[in-house]
Amino acid sequence: MIRLQTPISEEQIRALHTGDVVQLNGIVVTARDAAHKLMIENFIKTPEIKRPELYARLKPLLEGGVIYHCGPVVAQNPDGSYRFVAAGPTTSIREEPYEADVIGHFKVRAIIGKGGMGARTLAGCKEHGAVYLHAVGGAATLIAATVEKVEDVLLKDELGVPEAFWVIRVKNWELVVTMDSHGNSLHDQIQAASEQRFKELVGLA
């Protein structure tokens, strides 16, 4: 078990390989489709930074940080604070058009989701020093139990609860490296092995 504490250094990420199990602690920021699109349009693919106040809040959270593809179920406490009730991973391939650019711009060190991502994100991980960490689908309440505190939420009213940037503090969250910074993807390897086995079973190999 490899312990990671945010912010994470590039050196720590480069030492990881597919199949490694990590225990994550510290700050994680949730971001789904609308949040990724917003970052691209306002911060990355634009001549100048739009919404500078939002950018100033996000940049220190994401530099050396972790993005989680998640649309959480959230409850509000009597004191006005929030807690995660369920926090299952979203299918990550939806963010494939955006993720490499987000990783490179913000120096994000880890992406968490389910199902893996494509060649463009894998290349971005290799170039910039990032990994993809696989979370277990169907374990939403167990994952929510690792969330010690909801530190902040950005754009909840504008984007809605599932699509907002939720800033959470996690403790001892166990995840598996399935895409590393050396160009390796367990998802690609399993896909290739499955296709080969299928050909063998139907007599095409």
CATH number for the domain that contains residue 95? 3.20.130.10
The whole-chain average pLDDT of the chain stands at: 94
For the chain, how many structural domains are there in total?
A: 1
**Euclidean distance between CA atoms 116 and 132, whole angstroms:** 7
Per-residue confidence (pLDDT) for residue 202, from 0 to 100: 72
Residue 82: its H or E element? strand 82-86
What pLDDT digit, counting tens, does each position of 110-146 carry? Answer: 999 999 999 999 999 999 999 999 998 889 999 999 9
Active-site residue (options: 36, 69, 134, 187): 36
Question: Letter for the amino acid at 121?
Answer: T
pLDDT of residue 200 exceeding 90, the answer is no
Which spans in 63-178 are helix H? Answer: 96-106, 119-128, 140-144, 156-159
36 is known as an active-site residue: yes
Domain that holds residue 84: 2-201
Mean predicted confidence (pLDDT) in 23-38? 98
